[in-house]
Copies of this chain bind each other. A is one copy, B any other.
Amino acid sequence: MYSGAQVSLYPMSGDFVGIILGALKALDPYRDRLRIETDDLSTLMIGPPEVLFSAMRDLFVAAAKTGAHCVLSAAVSRGCPGGPESDPICGVDKRAGANTPLAGRIEEAVAAVRTAKVTEQLAAAQFALYVMGSDQHMDEIMGCIDFLKQSGTFDRAKNFVTKLRGDSGAVFATLQEALFRFGPVDGHVTLDITVSANSPSKV
């Protein structure tokens, strides 16, 4: 499966360059399992789901632990028809999508979030999940919503997006499960994600 993301990190600090350069070291353990390309707007990461989300989590947490208000924003995609169908670096993710009964996948997704790595960095997040090319997946969307409400990270539904809150480990695990455990197996599914720490606004 072709999966990846365009990832941007925004430290609201005069030292944003230093914070970004410091946080990028958190990607070092993943570099042999991701294709990484950076320009002035974002960093492309192509790789298997668990590597992709662990790398985004560690990048975000490294920046947030400086204490600065930091936001990670990303366009995350699986099964994009624009990409190679089987990029070797992406591996095969047998779990992706609706190839086993929905109730079991909801349980597995909840368990994955409960056992996610604890980072001790609180995060607020919101995301939109988009399923392209089919209008036959309402059961999958409803199943994903069931999962979110049991995930422990669900905060509330907003216009266009769902809001999460919790430890960064659980938040990124929730996003990973939403993208890869639900929806059509071979479909093009994307996430628009925003993850924030240390905001001076508490709402």
Contacts and interface: CB of A to CB of B under 8 A. Distances in A.
Interface stretch (A52-60, A104-112, A168-176, A190-198): A190-198
A14 interface: yes
Contacts of A135: 132-134
Contact of A202 (B40, B44, B69, B82): B40
A125 B6 CA distance: 13
A80 interface: yes
A77 interface: yes
A94 interface: no
Interface string A71-87: 10101010010110000
Interface in A102-153: 124-126, 128, 130-135
Interface in A156-179: 158-161, 163
Given A42-B126, A128-B190, A132-B131, A6 B71 contact: no
A42 B160 CA distance: 12
A200 B39 CA distance: 11
A133 B132 CA distance: 6
Contacts of A124: 40-41
Nearest to A188: B130
A17 interface: yes
B126 A6 contact: yes
Interface of A: 4-6, 8, 10-14, 16-17, 38-42, 44, 46, 69, 71, 73, 75, 77, 80, 82-83, 124-126, 128, 130-135, 158-161, 163, 190, 192, 194, 196, 199-203
11 contacts: A5-B160, A8-B71, A8-B73, A12-B12, A39-B158, A41-B126, A42-B194, A128-B190, A130-B190, A132-B132, A133-B134
List of 4 A-B pairs having minimum Cβ-Cβ separation, nearest first: A12-B16, A39-B203, A10-B10, A133-B135
